[in-house]
Chain A
Amino acid sequence: MLYFSKLRIIFVTLISLIFILIASSNLFKFSNNLLNKKINLGLDLQGGSYLLLEIDNSPVVEQKLQNLTITIKNYFKEKNIRINNLKISNQELSFTVNNQFKQTVLDEFNDEESNLNPYYPRFKSHQLNIEEKNDLLIVNYSKQGLVELKTSSQDQALEIVRRRIDEIGTNEPNILKRGNDRILVELPGLDDPMRIKSLLGKTANLTFRFVASNTDDSFGTEKLKYEDGSEESVVSKRIILSGDNLLDAQPRMNNETNETVVSFTLDRVGAKRFGKATSTGIGKQLAIVLDGKIISAPVIRDTIASGSGQISGGFTFQSATDLALLLRSGALPAPLNIIEERTVGPDLGQDSINAGMIALAIGFALVILFIFIKYKIFGLITNIALIINLFLLIGILTMFEATLTLPGIAGIILTVGMAVDANVLIFERIKEELKDEKNNLIAFDSGYTKSRTAILDANITTLIAAVILFFMGSGPIKGFSLTLGVGIFTTLFSVYFIARLLTVLYVAKNKQKEGLI
């Protein structure tokens, strides 16, 4: 245990120096790319906002089932089968069919080649389930079909969320998927997430529809409220234009009315449709509907063929800017709910850093002092190893550009407290060995050997706890488990290489000295 080859000494010194250099790159600026790395600060230290969004997929399911009603009707019409009483409730589609065709319909749904109901061979499942209940046939999404649907709406929502956040221009946002119906948004440096929250809370489903003049509109009508809640209008369900047709939207000042408006430009298809609708509908009211509420319903005075227009609706400059932003970035496939929010202001973050550093400095000083008083020269050796251990730990975190959180700092301080354990185990063992063994070298050697299993046990048990925390914990707790876990490896290195090297050098010079430790 006590022998160190020259090569190994060089190796240990080199590793220590490299990590001291990497660790110090947090304090100094290096022009070298390899060294120009820094530990990331978690949101709890640098301030920022953490938002967990959940996609409410039930409207998507309803919408898809709604679309399916037409598909089913047409599909079986070709086969001369009449589908009756199509109804959607509780995310289920029910219908009736003449008894003699029941089996045919069921077979069509369960056919693996069927276009009506896609089959996923990989999961051995159809998109839709069909079952017979009394006279009714009931269709709903299969487990796999639902997963498919959720994943696709998550993909779309992620893209829209990213666009909206990019438009606001926050600093290095982090937008990630969680599960199949959640999106995690981390916004460093943002201390008031109010605006982002209100922007993400809107689906931004924009439609242009005529206000119904008479109730017997062939597409059906619905009663909608105005945005300010003042009155209601009956609006046709026929959609003339939707947000999809928008190329661009910008807030503008209307010089004539001195009002803030949102001006928009339409794509080719949209421009054509808009031109047609405005030419045939002169004198009618065109309702501009956003997320089920009427923003305004101006009367069409002229044909608009240019493919651009304005939305007015008593906007402030801020609300016009936000609406334009929402229209530019597109509609969410489904509403998002914020189910978890954690925001830390930058000054609290700085306070936490300061408190953490003071606690680290004091904890470190106390441990070093205690160990020095207890073990004198070997205390000094332990302390040198402990200092290098700290550099190694910070160096590794820097190298991987890991995220340091406040609990992470606690993990480092705790590592300092527990790291001396291994050296204490060794030195106490050596003390015992020296009671019967007068040769220092032999006593030190067997002290190292006999304490090894206990040291391994001690570190494995802590490692188990750290690994579980890493995989099960969230955010800040992950930071704690990371520093604790990495700390175990750096501790073992510093004990078995650095402290042992220094011990060997010292003992070799004092072979005969009594009461060495």
Chain B
Amino acid sequence: MIAFNKYYNKFNILSVSLVVVSLLLLTFKGLNFGIDFKGGTLIELRASESKINVSSLRDNLNQMNLGDVSVKKFGNETDFLIKFENNDNKNVIEEIKTNLDKSFGNNFNFRRVENVGPKVSAELLKSGIIAISVALILMLIYIWIRFEWQFSLGAILALFHDVIVTLGLFSLLGLEINLSIIAAVLTIVGYSMNDTVVIFDRVRENLKKYSDIKIFELTNISINETLSRTLITSITTLLALLSIFFFGGEILRGFSLAMIFGVIFGTYSSIYIANTVLVRLRVSQKTVLKEDGNN
């Protein structure tokens, strides 16, 4: 049996600092919102000649008065991602096409063009925030119906931890937040909850079974009993996600990265946050039996 409970305090301090650092990052550095949430234009280009590079493209586009233009390699040597804020929401794609053709010859394939107006991006951001909030509230309700309040608190704290730290990491690394990241965050919420609930189920079962074991020991027993399941499921999920990350193409990269972070944090938090909350709230056999008595 692994003594997870030996490190409860240390990891709690770590988690609290991670959350604090993430919140500081989110407040002061903020998130790198993509055009879905900020509005603007995105163009994915493929050049047929390899001599075209980022700086020549950037120089060319900067002459067009598009405002702040970002040009990046996208995946391989001949693919580029161009982004700029298109404040007046004018259609400049035709102009860009003509301009690039003039400077580089007819060498470009416009693989993807996205243009999101300011009104739509504001709405998308709003509905994204609503979606995550509604998900958290529904999870709260679900867990509140299923378990005693001490368990609910533990599960919810674990959830907030996972969402905040994942977003914090995105802020730290400057990774782009777009619509698919919202989907990833919601899936993380589901996954983290799932992981926590499996361990909690065992904790409750053990609480009913053993009256003489303190919660500090009991959580450790429960974590160990469910450990192989926790690991196997995390591994298979990570195998699937790593496969998307490496082979699923550039478009899914951010999504799968967020999910990979989320699965790792979710597994960690169900052991080191959810359970420690039970310990700190001194949950005992009485907590679960009282509930049964009421029924």
Contact pattern, A 168-194, Cβ under 8 Å of B = 1, otherwise 0: 000000000000000000000001101
Query: Contact between A197 and B91 (Cβ–Cβ < 8 Å)?
Result: yes
In this complex, which of B138, B190, B198, B228 has the most chain A Cβ atoms within 10 angstroms of its Cβ? B190
User: Considering the chains assembled together, what is the distance between the CA atoms of A348 and B232 in angstroms?
Assistant: 35
Surface stretch bound by B, among A29-37, A289-297, A415-423, A498-506? A415-423
Q: Which residues of chain A from 420 to 471 have a CB within 8 Å of any chain B CB? A: 420-421, 424-425, 428, 432, 453-454, 457-458, 460-466, 468-469
- Extra inter-chain contacts (13) besides given A343-B112, A462-B194, CB under 8 Å: A340-B116, A340-B117, A341-B115, A342-B113, A345-B109, A362-B247, A363-B239, A363-B243, A406-B249, A425-B229, A465-B186, A469-B131, A472-B131
Q: Quick one: CB contact mask for A467-481 with B, threshold 8 Å, 1 for yes? A: 011001110110011
Determine whether the beta carbon of B247 is less than 8 Å from that of A355. yes
Instruction: Let me know if A370 is at the binding interface, CB within 8 A.
Output: yes
Listed A/B pairs (25) with beta-carbon separation below 8 Å: A340-B115, A341-B116, A343-B110, A343-B112, A347-B111, A355-B247, A356-B249, A356-B252, A358-B248, A363-B244, A370-B236, A406-B251, A409-B248, A414-B244, A417-B241, A421-B194, A454-B201, A457-B194, A464-B139, A464-B142, A465-B135, A469-B131, A472-B131, A474-B124, A477-B179
User: Is B183 an interface position by the 8 A CB rule?
Assistant: yes
Leading 3 A-B pairs by shortest Cβ distance: A417-B240, A363-B243, A355-B249
Minimum CB–CB distance from A468 to chain B (whole Å) comes to 5
Q: In the bound complex, what is the Cα–Cα distance between A399 and B191 (angstroms)? A: 28
Tell me if B235 and A370 are in contact (CB < 8 A). Answer: yes
Minimum CB–CB distance from A223 to chain B (whole Å) comes to: 25
B255 at the interface (CB under 8 A from A): yes
* A428 to B239 alpha-carbon distance, docked (Å): 20
Which residues of B (186-237) have their CB < 8 Å from a CB of A? 186-187, 189-191, 193-194, 197-198, 201-202, 225-226, 228-229, 232-233, 235-237
Q: Which A positions have Cβ atoms within 8 angstroms of B?
A: 44, 52, 54, 191-192, 194, 197, 337-345, 347-348, 351-352, 355-356, 358-360, 362-363, 366-367, 370-371, 374, 406-407, 409-410, 413-414, 416-418, 420-421, 424-425, 428, 432, 453-454, 457-458, 460-466, 468-469, 472-474, 476-477, 480-481, 484
Q: What is the CA–CA distance of A150 and B78 in the complex, to the nearest angstrom?
A: 47
- Cβ contact within 8 Å between A407 and B183: yes
Q: Is the CB of A367 within 8 A of B115?
A: no
* A-B interface contact total, Cβ < 8 Å: 205
Is residue B20 contacting chain A, with contact meaning CB distance below 8 A?
no
Q: What's the nearest-Cβ distance from chain B to residue A278, in Å?
A: 39
Taking residues whose C-beta sits less than 8 angstroms from the other chain, chain B's interface range is: 35 or more
Which of A54, A424, A476, A481 is the most central at the interface, judged by chain B CB atoms within 10 Å of its CB?
Answer: A424
Using CB atoms and an 8 Å cutoff, list the residues of chain B in contact with chain A: 44, 89, 91, 93-94, 109-117, 119-120, 124, 127-128, 130-131, 134-135, 138-139, 142, 146, 179-180, 182-183, 186-187, 189-191, 193-194, 197-198, 201-202, 225-226, 228-229, 232-233, 235-244, 246-249, 251-252, 255-256, 259
Please give me the residue from chain B that is nearest to A51 by CB atom: B115
What are the residues of chain A within 8 A of B182 when measuring CB–CB? 473, 477
Q: Is the CB of A421 within 8 A of B233?
A: yes
Residue of B nearest to A465 (CB): B190
**Inter-subunit contact B113/A343 (CB<8 Å):** yes
**Contacts A465-B135, A468-B135, A468-B138 known; A367 to B236 CB distance under 8 Å?**
yes
Known: A343-B113, A345-B109, A425-B229. A465 touches B247 (CB 8 A): no
Whether A460 contacts B142 by the Cβ 8 Å rule is yes
Q: Which residues of B contact A466 (CB under 8 A)?
A: 190
Residues in A with CB closer than 8 Å to B201 are: 453-454, 457
Inter-subunit contact B194/A461 (CB<8 Å): yes
Chain B residue with the shortest CB-CB distance to A49? B113
